Amino acid sequence: MMKLTLYRYLEIHNAMLGILHVPHMPVPIHTLEDKWVGNEKMVSCIPAGTYTCKPYSSAKFPKVWEVTNVKDRSAILFHAGNTHADTHGCILLGTGVTIDGRSAALTQSLKALQSLRDHIGSGNGFTLEIVDPPVKIAYPLVSV
């Protein structure tokens, strides 16, 4: 099973930005999650750790992945979306990120999701390791 690593690097207002390392993938995938709010359902990113991701499909979220075995949480998906308003506790994917003075957004989210499907196969699962930054950084760039 392929192992992907999500490196979180910046908290900006209600969002956490990261880079998803996918072995042998030529372009990076950016991520946007909710910031840490004590692992609360629908409003927090999940704790750093190692998880199994399984294929998931519904009418609203076709051909995506569900992060499983998260303590006290369920229905955490990798899916398309651009801003914090789209997360609901899930992990969004994009080809790039834009930051204005008050928020962050992902670019070309559907393209990033399709690239991940093409690279690992939408019917295949993977192992996900999530790594928090060694020093928590919040925007504006100050250590907290």
Render pLDDT for 113-131 as a digit per residue (tens, 0 to 9). 999 999 999 899 999 999 9
The pLDDT-based confidence of 18 (bands split at 50, 70, 90) is very high
Beta strand 126-131 with 104-107 is: unpaired
Mean pLDDT of 4-11: 94
- For residue 52, the enclosing domain spans 2-143
Residue 135 has pLDDT above 80, yes or no: no
Measure the CA–CA gap between 86 and 81, rounded to whole angstroms. 5
How many folded domains does the chain comprise?
A: 1
Q: What number of CA atoms fall less than 13 Å from residue 82's CA on the CB side? A: 7
